């Protein structure tokens, strides 16, 4: 049974529109992450969180907001979607920060901004 | 250059063959992880290494922090090994222990 669930699995959005990507984990992990994957760039960290009601900027936070209303849920919000935000987005969770803590990924959300 | 360089970008093997993937780091890294992304896009953690070598079935990974590289060796390649393999390194210190991903190696295993 999937422990990190993302919704929607795919979405088409219009430029300038608002997009919310949701992530739910049942791992009881403190840390949750949002990454984007673009061809030729691997995964890049957008935002992460280590406790409910708190979020931290990752390496590419511009144009994105994040929300962690509870330990289990972590959302990524694009207030004004742009063409450059077309990508596959992955949510992940881990017990702690640091490489020894295994990352558990969701199945990904394919976002197309037109 | 890129902090994590992965090569080759693509690799084609026949079933039963052995091969290796490599990541080079521009600076000393604290640890490395290897992931497989399957044909459905699912990311699975393969290894975490802070040093040395680990094996799991037909996979073996080595991390040499001093020499700034890590390798993933696949033995007796199977069709289900096809996918994209990523390494991700943890720089530590002021980076906040965040992972830096390589750009991946697309592996195709042919019958």
Q: Does the pLDDT of residue B72 top 70, yes or no?
A: yes
What mean pLDDT is predicted for residues A33-61? 92
pLDDT of residue A58: 92
pLDDT of residue A96: 82
On whether the CB atoms of residues A86 and B34 are closer than 8 A, the answer is: no
B66 alpha carbon, distance to own chain's centre: 17
Q: From chain A, pick out residues whose CB is under 8 angstroms from the CB of B6.
A: 42
Non-local (6+) Cβ contacts of A63 within 8 A are A78, A80, A82, A84, A85
Q: From chain B, pick out residues whose CB is under 8 angstroms from the CB of A44.
A: 101
The residue that leads in pLDDT, B61 or B42, is: B61
Q: Does the pLDDT of residue B103 top 80, yes or no?
A: yes
User: Residue B26 and residue B44: Cα distance in Å, rounded?
Assistant: 25
On whether the CB atoms of residues B99 and B90 are closer than 8 A, the answer is: yes
Question: Is any Cβ of chain B less than 8 angstroms from the Cβ of A58?
Answer: yes
pLDDT of residue B74: 97
**Which residues of chain B from 15 to 54 reach within 8 Å of chain A, CB to CB?**
30-33, 35, 40-45, 48, 50
């Amino acid at each position: 049974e999937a422990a990190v669930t993302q919704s929607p699995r795919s979405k088409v959005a219009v430029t300038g529109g608002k997009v919310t990507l949701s992530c739910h984990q049942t791992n009881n992990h403190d840390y949750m992450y949002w990454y984007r994957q673009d061809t030729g760039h691997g995964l890049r960290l957008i935002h992460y969180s280590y406790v409910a009601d708190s979020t931290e900027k990752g390496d590419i936070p511009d144009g994105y907001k994040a929300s962690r209303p509870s330990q289990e849920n972590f959302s990524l919000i694009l207030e004004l979607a742009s063409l450059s935000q077309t990508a596959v987005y992955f949510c992940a969770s881990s017990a702690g920060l640091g490489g020894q803590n295994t990352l558990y990924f969701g199945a990904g959300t394919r976002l197309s901004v037109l | 250059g890129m902090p994590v360089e992965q090569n080759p970008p693509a690799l084609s093997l026949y079933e039963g063959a052995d091969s290796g993937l490599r990541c080079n780091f521009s600076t000393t890294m604290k640890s490395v992880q290897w992931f497989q992304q399957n044909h459905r896009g699912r990311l699975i953690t393969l290894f975490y290494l802070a040093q040395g070598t680990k094996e799991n079935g037909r996979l073996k990974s080595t991390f040499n922090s001093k020499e700034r590289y890590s390798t993933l060796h696949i033995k007796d390649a199977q069709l289900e090994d096809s996918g994209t393999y990523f390494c991700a390194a943890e720089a530590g210190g002021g980076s906040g222990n965040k992972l830096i991903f390589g750009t991946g190696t697309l592996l195709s295993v042919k019958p």
